[in-house]
Amino acid sequence: MTAHDMALTPRRCPLCDSGNATPRYRVKTFAVVACDDCGFTYLPVAAGFDHYAEGDGAWENAQPSFIQERLAQTPLQTRLSLATRFRTRFRKKSPVHYIDRHTANQAQPRLNVLDIGCGAGGYLLSLHPRYVPHGVDISRELAAMAHASFSARGGFVVTAPATQALSRFEPGSMDAIVMRSYLEHEAEPLEVLKGCFGLVKKDGLVVVKVPNYAALNRVVMGSGWCGFRFPDHVNYFTPTSLAQMAAKAGFRTRQRLVDKLPTSDNMWAVLTPVA
């Protein structure tokens, strides 16, 4: 899909709000730019809620199309990537792993977890029954699926942009918040992080997974990097820029070396509120 096929809204730098930027990559009709003032890399336009709520732009429809496009462009690399994803399903590293490790010594009988960009809700359901899953998603179909599962465990799902949906949850009510493969899609990431700061408990955590713009593979592949996805991915984080944005929202960022390897196209981070 090209920039001419949908309604796009111009964006300023989501980290420092500067309007000055220099193009770094051009793919089809889209340009990825770097802020002249702070260096943050982003897409200077974003599609609206309606594009992603249903139809071709909704995740359940866009993802298969994206994979087919990547297979046509870079068949070997894409097949290797898909094979790696399959193998990682058997590994422990997931939002559930980070949450379990953080809350292992907490005695509360019930713990609230919010998944922003929850999709159909899959992996949160593997948490211990004492966790109450909640979600936010803009795909109406996937949100309905997640709500059916989450409500059976006492939670619920809001179908709305995250900047609006977070107000539906009680301040300070969440023991953990998950943003797995979400923040790169969000047109207002700093506002969402600020909203998370108001929702998560002071001893809670926010688990983030995003593409790693600092990956060596991005340097090698250039505009053919697998982390570029248009118009879906509008923010391109490095470990440094993610920590900078999190700090503006009131969080401290923890990343082990294995969470931000330059050989990986993705990175993980744990954000905790600064007292």
Q: What is the pLDDT of residues 146-189, one digit of tens each?
A: 999 999 999 999 999 999 999 999 999 999 999 999 999 999 99
Can you give the pLDDT at residue 91?
Answer: 46
Instruction: State which residues form the domain around 120.
Output: 94-212+233-273
Please count the structural domains in the chain: 2
Contact 174, 112 (CB under 8 A): yes
The confidence band for 123, taking pLDDT boundaries of 50, 70 and 90, is confident
**Residue whose structure tokens are 């890399």:** 41
Among candidate residues 33, 66, 86, the one where a domain is terminated: 86
Helix (H) or strand (E) run with residue 164 in it: helix 162-165
The reply to whether 79 and 195 lie within a common domain is no
Mean pLDDT of the chain: 87
Q: How far apart are CA 23 and CA 201, in angstroms?
A: 39
Among candidate residues 70, 86, 102, the one where a domain is terminated: 86
Burial readout 100-138 (b: 16 or more C-beta within 10 A, e: otherwise): bebbeeeeeeebbbbbbbbbbbebbeebeeebbbbbbbb
Among candidate residues 86, 108, 133, the one where a domain is terminated: 86
Q: Within 10 Å of residue 17's Cβ, how many Cβ atoms?
A: 11
How close are the terminal C-alpha atoms of the chain, in Å?
A: 44
The reply to whether 147 and 109 lie within a common domain is yes
Contact 50, 198 (CB under 8 A): no
